[in-house]
């Protein structure tokens, strides 16, 4: 994976410190030095992490969309 500078983390609501620490650890392990947090209620719950071109989508929104497509 290429080293990218900034990671964008999207959450549905504010997370506690413990969760934020785990997020930071995960993101830094993948080469990101800076983290930007966004709150978007549309994702309903879960997390979306974008590091460069790579997106880790663990949002409830995407899961519901997958279910809709597969029905």
Partner 1 sequence: MYMGYVESQRLANIFDALGFDWQSIVAHLIALIILTVGLYLLLFKPVKKMIKERQEKIRKIEQENNDLNEEVKSMKSSTEVVLNEAKKQASVIHDNAVRVANQKADEIVSSARKEAKDLVERTEREMEEERNKLQSEIKKQISDVSIAVAEKVLARDLTPQDNKKLIEDCIEQWSEEE
Contact set with partner 1 (CB under 8 A): 11-16, 18-19, 22-23, 26, 29, 41, 44-47, 56, 58, 60-61, 64, 67-68, 71
Residue found by looking up tokens 């990218």 in the block: 4
Q: Which is nearer to partner 1, 12 or 32 (CB)?
A: 12
DSSP state of 23: H
Q: Which is nearer to partner 1, 6 or 66 (CB)?
A: 66
CB atoms closer than 10 angstroms to residue 51:
22
- Least Å from the CB of residue 42 to partner 1: 9
CB atoms closer than 10 angstroms to residue 35:
16
């Amino acid at each position: 994976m290429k080293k990218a500078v900034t990671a964008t983390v999207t959450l549905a609501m504010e997370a506690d410190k413990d969760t934020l620490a785990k997020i930071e650890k995960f993101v830094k392990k993948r080469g990101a030095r800076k983290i930007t947090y966004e709150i978007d209620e549309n994702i309903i719950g879960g997390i979306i992490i974008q590091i460069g071109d790579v997106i880790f989508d663990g949002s409830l929104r995407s899961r519901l969309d997958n279910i809709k497509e597969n029905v």
